[in-house]
Amino acid sequence: MIRLENVSLAFEDKVILDNISLSIKKGEIAVILGPSGAGKSSIIKIMVGLWQPDSGRVFIGNKDISKLSESEMLPLRRKMGIVFQGNALFDSLTVEENVSYFLKEHGSLKSSEINAKVSEILSFINLEGTEKICIDQLSGGMKKRVAIARALSFDPEIIFYDEPTTGLDPINAKSILDLIKRVSERGATSIAVTHILNDAVSIGDTLSVINDGTVVQTGTVQDMLASENKFVKDFFYVVYQDAALLKNKKFYK
Amino acid sequence: MASTITNFKKKIYTLQEYTFMLRELFLSLKYVNKCKRDAINEMYLVGSQAFLLVLLGGAFMGIILALETGHQLDLFGAKNLVGRTVSLGMVRELGPIITGLLLAARTGAKNASEIGAMQISEQIDALRAFGTNPVLKLVMPRTIAAMVMFLPLTAVADISGILSGMVVSKLSLHIDTSFFWHSAISALLMKDIFVGFAKPILFAFFIATISCFYGFQTRGGTSALGKNTINAVVVTSLIVLVLDLIFTKVVWELL
Ligand SMILES: Nc1ncnc2c1ncn2[C@@H]1O[C@H](COP(=O)(O)OP(=O)(O)OP(=O)(O)O)[C@@H](O)[C@H]1O
Ligand SMILES: [Mg+2]
């Protein structure tokens, strides 16, 4: 569904992405895992065509988008939804206005159809009753849900999440992760980037660990745990630690 | 030396980005009726809310102009020319300049900080990612609003300047108001009015587009936002002065 081939990107002299190759299958939840500043957000921006790579190719389906102009990107953008790291909601507008914003912008839909769509989405993400609340009055977890709701407004085939649980408490984080799984069950291909190991393990069908703009390892959780790579071992160290802890304390039989 | 060259290169590059934005703006003219509602909103913000500011700005200019020239002309026994001087000065130069500078500060700061905040909170990326052209959505309505509203605002500054000049002339130079008014109006030629109202349209275009451009150029955090807002106000103010000079020198001679 999505394929990066030898993608590189630099800003001035600083290399951000160095020869990245990745492949994401239709319908799966792919997690890109890496520490802060590894280039996670940059990969997402390249995948949705907001940035063009300096070299390499980016395929969505069979189409190479790495050189497409803004207007050539348009039809593809209708198939993608993106949840930004900082949500990027329009903060002076209400929940309803945010979710319906792009439906109104591009829509061929009548306003009654837009309203129906918005309430369908809001009930899917368990936010009924918040339609008229202004974004700046919402909690972090709710904002994230609204951002997901907006991304769902065009029933995207592919949905991108940039650090969906960063800054949320464990309860809210878990409900966002559950939501991501439910969205995926609707049939969307999902790509999530995160630095939180727990999230990656709990939702990821496949993981790719990146560091300093390069892919260190890709595979399933088992592959990661079996990896001999030093960086992967360090990154997954807490998993071993937690496992040991749980065993000692006998939380589980 | 090397850093001067890189700096210069950066300037040229920025200028190039600005022309790309202008090109995008002209290309999206064909979708202009999509932003009717936004444009009307902006007109309200640019226009009605700046009314008092421009009224006061014009009034002070008129008073200063009347007093300064009045006392000098009085030395030559020519204080009857004050009306003429004030009206020509206001309509040709000071009205457009004071409106331009006040709005460069007000509209310039508003555009740059609003769009800059949208840029650093990824809202601009969100617009693009969901298939909305940010130039059409944000720059077009602001440019239209400025170009439409600057004309009446300049007229407000002109008239308030002439009227307040008339009042102080009466009070401190004892010039008859009806005489002042008559000489003020009869001094104005079509050419004066044309130049006086061509300027604000041009000012409006550059103030709106440059300040939006600085908003888009904001990268990083709050300090970048502050810096770019300052830059927007400084550059648009300078542009107003430079364009005014060009108009006074070149266009006036051509007409
Ligand atoms: N517009 C830009 N100009 C210059 N450098 C940039 C720009 N955007 C990002 N970078 C740099 O690129 C590197 C990767 O950034 P990116 O935002 O992709 O990282 P990330 O993995 O998403 O990190 P985080 O966890 O902080 O979100 C960082 O070192 C960052 O400083
Ligand atoms: Mg990031």
Q: What pLDDT shows up at residue B79?
A: 84
CA distance A210 to A216: 5
Q: Does B126 touch chain A (CB under 8 A)?
A: yes
Tell me what ipTM this predicted complex has. 0.89
Binding-site residues, ligand 1, Cβ < 6 A: A 11, 14, 16, 34, 36-42, 85, 195; B 219
Beta bridge partners of B84: none
If DSSP codes are grouped into helix, strand and coil, which group holds residue A8? strand
Q: What is the pTM of this model?
A: 0.89
Tell which phi-psi region holds residue A167, choosing left (phi > 0), alpha (psi between -120 and 50) or beta: left
Q: Which two tokens stand for residue A48?
A: 């949705």
Do residues A153 and A103 touch, judged by C-beta distance below 8 A?
Answer: yes
| Higher per-residue pLDDT: A245 or A87 | A87
Q: What pLDDT shows up at residue B242?
A: 95
Q: What is the pLDDT of residues A212-231, one digit of tens each?
A: 999 999 999 888 888 888 88
For chain A, the average pLDDT equals 89
Over residues B125-143, mean pLDDT: 94
Over residues A86-114, mean pLDDT: 89
Q: What pLDDT shows up at residue A253?
A: 44
Q: Which two tokens stand for residue A252?
A: 């589980």
CA distance B92 to B90: 6
Over residues B111-139, mean pLDDT: 94
The band of B171, judged by pLDDT with boundaries at 50, 70 and 90, is very high
Residue A131 is classified by DSSP as T
The percent of residues above 90 in pLDDT, for chain A, comes to: 61
Q: Name the residue type at position B111.
A: N
A215 CA → ligand 1 middle, Å? 16
The band of A237, judged by pLDDT with boundaries at 50, 70 and 90, is confident
Q: What is the pLDDT of residues B217-247, one digit of tens each?
A: 999 888 999 999 999 999 999 999 999 998 8
If DSSP codes are grouped into helix, strand and coil, which group holds residue B18? helix
Is A250's pLDDT higher than 80? no
The band of B48, judged by pLDDT with boundaries at 50, 70 and 90, is confident
Residue of A nearest to B135 (CA): A70
Q: Which two tokens stand for residue A231?
A: 């960086």
Beta bridge partners of A158: A80, A189
Is B99's pLDDT higher than 90? yes
- The helix-helix angle for B95-120 and B190-216 (nearest 10°) equals 20
Do residues A146 and A83 touch, judged by C-beta distance below 8 A?
Answer: no
Q: What is the pLDDT of residues B74-89, one digit of tens each?
A: 888 888 899 999 999 9
Q: What is the pLDDT of residues B62-77, one digit of tens each?
A: 999 999 999 899 888 8
Over residues A64-84, mean pLDDT: 89
The band of A243, judged by pLDDT with boundaries at 50, 70 and 90, is low
Q: Does B131 touch chain A (CB under 8 A)?
A: yes
Q: What distances in angstroms separate CA A69 from CA A45, B133, B190, B191, B216, one per listed residue?
A: 15, 12, 47, 46, 19
| Higher per-residue pLDDT: B47 or B26 | B26
Interface of A with B in 177-236 (CB under 8 A): none
